[in-house]
Amino acid sequence: MRYNGKKTESPPSATRLPESSQAFYNGAWEQWDSMIRHSPAPRIRRNKIVSWLSVLSPKTVLDVGCGNGEFLLDVHQSMPDVKLTGADISSAIIDSNRIRTSAAEFFKVDLNAENPPGRYDAVVCMEVIEHCADYKAALQRLAAMTEKWLIVTVPCGPVFEIDRRVGHIRHFKPKEIAEVLAKEGLHVVKLESWGFPFYNLYKHLINLWPDKICESFLSERKYGFVQKVIAYVAYAAFNLCLPKWGYQLFVIAAR
């Protein structure tokens, strides 16, 4: 396998996007299952958003880009009476989720091209927009599904090597997201650039060895003892990060 003309042993899904995004994510979600469950940044995102949803008290929640459904399971544990729906571009992960849990409904959607049916009290979209060819159109589709609140997370720091390998097209300035949502009738009630200093430092450190990190943490192998210890130490540090000056953007917008 070659990436930018250089030979690499990283797994294909951690190296580059193939022509079919669905084919990429059909393989990627299976490989990333352990990473999504244990990796510190996804855990922080899930925990923060579940805590915000518990305050907003929606009756229906849609997770766009739901992957293996880990976030929806967290919401179900915290808010068992909420009707949950997950959507993803990967038909394989949707089929797997339907077998794995009855706590939510699932359907396939390509946010690059499709307007999912229905409207929901709260729409959540974590780490998806940076993969979309037209981020404005993707945000417009999310807004069209939003009855009350839209929660979006995107990277707002540099586009690192590992980011490119997992399909990031671009990262964002806070105003870029806010301006599009305002045009769709949503006003931003929270705009948080989380992650300083430890998450920012972590992003720089892991990109010193992108091949090794992809092999150890983004491959088919489940997290072993060492990976779990590293992930949990990083998670503890991330809980000390400030909600400003960071590389992770959280946005809550209301209609």
Summarised one tens digit per residue, pLDDT across range 67-126 is 999 999 999 999 999 999 999 999 999 999 999 889 999 999 999 998 877 999 999 999
Q: Under the phi-then-psi rule, with left for phi > 0, alpha for psi from -120 to 50, and beta for the rest, what region is 211? A: alpha
Does the reported pTM lie above 0.85? yes
pLDDT digits (tens, 9 = 90+) for 113-138: 988 779 999 999 999 999 999 999 99
Which CATH superfamily is 2-254 part of?
A: Vaccinia Virus protein VP39 (3.40.50.150)
Q: Under the phi-then-psi rule, with left for phi > 0, alpha for psi from -120 to 50, and beta for the rest, what region is 79? A: beta
- Parse the chain into domains and list their residue ranges: 2-254
CA distance 72 to 102: 11
The encoded tokens of residue 209 equal 């060895």
